Each structure stands twice: as structure tokens, then as C-alpha cells.
Amino acid sequence: MVESAPLRIGIAGLGTVGAGVVRLLEENRDLLIQRAGRRIEIAAVSARRRDADRGVDLGAYAWHDDPLTLAEDPAVDVVVELIGGEAGPALALVEHALANGKSVVTANKALLAHHGSRLGRIARQRGTGLCFEASVAGGIPVIKVLREGLVGNRISRISGILNGTCNYILSTMRETGRAFDDVLADAQKLGYAEADPTLDIDGFDAAHKLAVLAGIAFGTPVDFDQVYVEGIRHISPLDIEYAEELGYRIKLLGTAVRTARGIEQRVHPTMVQASEAIAQVDGVFNAVVIEGDHVGRVVLQGRGAGAGPTASAVVSDLVDLACGRPSPAFVEAAETGIGPVSMTEHDGPSYIRLMVRDQPGVIADIAAELRNERVSMEAMIQRRHQPDGAVPVVLTTHPSKEAALSRALERIGALDSVLEPPRMIRIEL
């Protein structure tokens, strides 16, 4: 039996994930030969610094100071892009590799959220692969599940915890009662949050991932600008306490839903019933819930980041390429007439927390503003004074249009009796 030629790869970016890919390929070399039917060999690498200590021996591999030259190296069949960033060197490398007829494996969700549809078209035109299992939820094979395991289903909804940093912060706040800023500082010390945590805590990282998932699930163009994004900075221990009392837990969820009007894509803090499986996912773990017309509900859970889980996903794409089975990057326009829906059209229940003066008529004024926008209250909780004399009032509403609720809250916030801007968290039924 003649052994197939090895699949030769070039890795650009040797940070945590890049070094993890090198380590996995070395440690599981024989296992991968059995599963891929051929060897997967590192032919070349590229990074900003040659002298950095990465915990792996790179001496046997050709070094490229310029990552673009990986795309021109005849010894490289597949370029693995692990540089990161939505543009700059990462985008230039992927474009150059595809133009040179080389397949690309990437973990870059920001790149795909902004350029995925265009890059997918280039890959199809050139007859190459653009693979990105590692771009969403780390070691959870959610993209393969959507493309392969659930290929016979019409997907109606995807909802998930797509950012481990936010999940760790919210879980720790619930367990300890500590404030957001304190828990964020601890997350940074532990390495769960970046020195600049903006992408994570303001929801952009989760939104990048959701845009990718929605494009695959619904056959629509990947368009980050169509994702509504809201982070977790405003979540307080008081909100978490009330959520528990009402039977909910607060999670930052990315949700894409097929509605009669089109596809709704949104990332925001969400109150989830405490009995739901996704509400039990704590710490840095991720989870994704997919709903299909024939399979029903599928729940996937696991580590969403880190060297090992993300490297595992990268190597799964490499094995697919070695076996000659790359999936199309994105299949657009699978359904005609389907498009994005504005967040103003969202219709659902909400939690509202107000800090008000203790004086007669306050509740009547609030109820009047809600009634004027046809927003119906479901329940109300009024508790003890806070140390500053303010009284917290919590309302839950029946399902209502986002635009109407926003107008009502703007007028409620302008009332003299309301001491700070209303806090609203959407409820997932």
C-alpha cells in the first residue's frame, strides 16, 4: 500500500493557541495518522518574535518573518492563521493564501464576522477550503454539528453562552455577592480577562461568534453590523439577587432566531429560568443550544477557549482537509427572501429595576407611562430602602415590543421621582 503524501501546513501566529496546535500535532502524531490516513506535518511557522519561549521546540520548521510568504511557500499546502484581528496581517494573509490556491484554517471570529462571506466566495472560486471550527466556542464542535449532524434540519434558533470571561464574572457575582468591578479585577489576575476587557465584557466577542453561527445556520450573509450588542457592565449584585428571587439566572447570551419577519441576531444579558440546562453552565465554560424542526433541542457544553480546546478544533479542520472533505465556508441565499430584523422589532418579556423616591404616586406614574405604550406589567416587587434612601422597585412585563418599551423607559427615567436610569434585562422564555 502506497502511503499518501503528507498534508504540509504553515502556522502564522505562535501565541497560546499556535503553540497548542504544535504541541497537539506532536503528541498525537500517530493517532492523527490513523484518523486522517496520512501525516499532518508542520512545514513552516511565522510569528513576530523568534526568541520567545513558547514551551515547544520549533527548530525543525522553516521560519518566515513575513507571514505573507507562508502563502507563497511551495512546501505549504494549508495556511493556519492564528494571528487574530479583523483586518491587518490576518486578513492580508488569508486573502493571499486563498488567491494562491491554498486552503486556510483559522480561529479568527472577528475576521469571519466582518469578511467571512467575501472570503468564502473567494475560497469557492479558487476551489480551496476555508475552515474555522475553532472560531466559535473553542473545543465545542458546534460548527460541525450545524453543518453535518443537523444538516437535515431547518434551524429555528441558536442561543448560547459564547464568552467565558463574561460567564465567569456573572457566575462569581452570583456566588459571592460581589460587585462587577471587583470580580473583573480578579478575572484579570487569573488570566480569564484581558488587560483591556472591552471586547469581552461589552459583548463584541460573543457577537462575532454569533454572526458566524447565524450565517451557517440560516444560510444568510455573515454581517456583524446586523447583530445587536449589549454588554454586562451595568449588571449589579442587586439585579442578580432579584433574578434569583424570581427564579432566573443572568447570562450573557448570543441568540439568533428565525422569525416570520426574518433573522433576529442579538447579544445581551438575559434572564434564563434557573431550571434550564444553560442556566447551570458556570465559570469559564461555554454552551450552545440549537433548535431544529426534526431533532428538537440539542445542548452542547464545554471549554470555549484556551490552548487545548482551541487547538483541538484547529486540528479537526486539518484532519478534514487531509481526508479531502472540506465543507463550504458559508452557503448563502439558501433561502430566498430571508433577511435581518431590527432589534426594535424584538417582542419579549423584560425585567425592569428602578431606584425611586419614597413618595406617594410613584408607582401610579410609572404604570401610566407603561400603559401609554401598551406595555403590560406581569409582577412587581418593592423592597426596603437602600442606605441612600432610594427604594428599589422591580417590574416584570408581559411580552412587548422593544421599541415601545424603550419609549416608556425613556419617559420613566425622566420622572422626578426616578433617581437613576432604569435598568432593563430581557427575559428568555
CA distances from 115 to 92, 223, 225 (A): 11, 8, 11
Grid cell at residue 180: 462587577
In this structure, the number of other CB atoms found within 10 A of the CB of residue 176 comes to 12
Contact 40, 7 (CB under 8 A): yes
Q: Which of 292, 309, 413, 305 is nearest to 352 (CA)?
A: 413
Q: How far apart are CA 199 and CA 321, in angstroms?
A: 31
Q: How far apart are CA 179 and CA 188, in angstroms?
A: 15
Phi, psi dihedral angles at 350 (to 5 degrees): -145, 155
Q: How far apart are CA 196 and CA 389, in angstroms?
A: 35
Contact 97, 80 (CB under 8 A): no
Say whether 209 is catalytic. Answer: yes
In this structure, the number of other CB atoms found within 10 A of the CB of residue 419 comes to 16
Catalytic residue among 102, 209, 251, 401: 209
Helix (H) / strand (E) element for 78: namely: strand 78-81
CA torsion sign for 26, 30, 32, 38 is: positive
Known catalytic residues are 209
